[in-house]
Structure 1
Amino acid sequence: MGIKKILMLVGDFVEDYEVMVPFQALLMVGHTVHAICPDKKAGDRIRTAVHDFEGDQTYSEKPGHNFTLNATFADVKAEEYDALVIPGGRAPEYIRLNPEVIEIVKHFDATNKPIAAICHGAQVLAAAGVVGGKTCSAYPAVGPDVNSAGGTWVDVGYDKAYVHGNLVTAAAWPAHPDWLAKFLQVLGTKIEP
């Protein structure tokens, strides 16, 4: 299958499941995953938030686990990675303000490397200007960001993912099985029974 080197862009109050599950699942299938956060280094921890759907007009938020970064933001060179993952939660709202984050995302788009974004991760894609002319999913409240950036937001429900070329997107963590399966397909990862 070829081991891939995957970069994960995270920050404080990233959604707990959306960082933990893909990080562990991608490691489990043999890939290398480096999780980074602006202004932090390997061994630093970020706080996560648990977002749930409990019948309110929007998701609820509770404290999640602490997540330990395993790479240093300042040391990362995007060209050394095969793919990018952007989890959701509240982190995308502020990491998209970092010009280096934007440059990282633009590199993966310009080189047509696989990009997986879930939930509010599309805020980073929109800020980087990489959704123009593309269709993608995201948490519904992020749909206007996608559309304003020249993309087309599509509602595939909360348990499905959408693929447009190298871009694999989903609305929220209930889509993990479909989102990760589609991302692995785009990566060219073969899992033998």
Structure 2
Amino acid sequence: MPKKILVLAGDFVEDYEVMVPFQMLLMLGYEVHAVCPNKKAGEVVATAIHDFEGDQTYTEKRGHNFALNADFAAAKADDYAALVLPGGRAPEYLRLDPAVIKLIQDFNAAGKPIAATCHAAQLLAAADVVRGKKCQAYPACKPDVLLAGGEWDEPSAGLDSACVDQNLVTAPAWPANPAWIRALADTLGASISLG
């Protein structure tokens, strides 16, 4: 039976940070469940595309609709090998949901991998799971990481790096998807071979 991975998303999750990892994990043979609080399987979340176009911060455009395939209310850390937290604008409001925070804390207490990218650091900070751990995130989230007792691991200039510390697998933004998902796969004991 394939290992199951839980992806937690919300409206205006970053498009590439939810769609691409979801597809990459399916390609690796995992059973991937995508959930959102207060939504059920078959419903969708709206996505946003964040781009780096030379401005002082990223720009935002409306992305695709991303289909959910499981119910948040039924999600339990015991049923999954890992948790994936994409970024975008969703983490900002998802961190206000006590059930979301408890779910993240349950994965952390079990020592299961938590893969977070970009603004998902806001969820990690709110759940108090970065304390004493190195992590990367979108640079604007550095204060969240530091104030939550985490250690900032400076992302690469191209925002295409990843950091692993204990059960946290973190990255700064969607350009890091290959490094981020490779690091998660390594953490889970998966092997990617070309033949």
Task: Compute the TM-score of the two structures, normalised by the length of structure 1.
Answer: 0.97
Task: Compute the TM-score of the two structures, normalised by the length of structure 2.
Answer: 0.96
Q: CA deviation at 1:167?
A: 0.8
Deviations 1:109-140 (A, max 9, x none): 11110110000011000000000000100000
Give the aligned partner of residue 176 of structure 2: 175
**Cα distance in 2, alignment partners of residues 189 and 145 from structure 1:** 31
Give the aligned partner of residue 155 of structure 2: 156
Q: How does 1:1-193 map to 2 (within 5 A)?
A: 3-157=2-156, 158-193=159-194
**Cα distance in 2, alignment partners of residues 68 and 120 from structure 1:** 21
**Bigger shift: 14-23 or 76-85?**
76-85
Matched position secondary structure for 2:154: coil
- Check whether the contact 2:137–2:155 (CA below 8 A) recurs between aligned residues: no
Cα RMSD of the aligned pairs, angstroms, is 0.9
The unaligned stretches of length 5 or more in structure 2 are none
**Bigger shift: 159-168 or 57-66?**
159-168
Matched position secondary structure for 1:34: strand
Q: CA deviation at 1:98?
A: 0.5
**Cα distance in 2, alignment partners of residues 163 and 185 from structure 1:** 10
Deviations 1:73-108 (A, max 9, x none): 112222111100000000000011110100110011
**Cα distance in 1, alignment partners of residues 113 and 55 from structure 2:** 34
Deviations 1:44-82 (A, max 9, x none): 111000000000000000000000100011122221111
- Which residue identity does 2:119 align to in structure 1? H
Matched position secondary structure for 1:50: strand
Matched position secondary structure for 1:61: strand
Q: CA deviation at 1:156?
A: 2.1
- Which residue identity does 1:136 align to in structure 2? C
**Cα distance in 1, alignment partners of residues 2 and 167 from structure 2:** 18
**Cα distance in 2, alignment partners of residues 156 and 74 from structure 1:** 34
Deviations 1:131-169 (A, max 9, x none): 000010000000100100010122122011011011110
**Cα distance in 2, alignment partners of residues 192 and 159 from structure 1:** 21
- Which residue identity does 1:50 align to in structure 2? I
Q: CA deviation at 1:192?
A: 3.1
Moved over 4 A (4+): none
Matched position secondary structure for 2:34: strand
- Which residue identity does 2:67 align to in structure 1? T
Aligned residues: 192
Q: CA deviation at 1:18?
A: 0.2
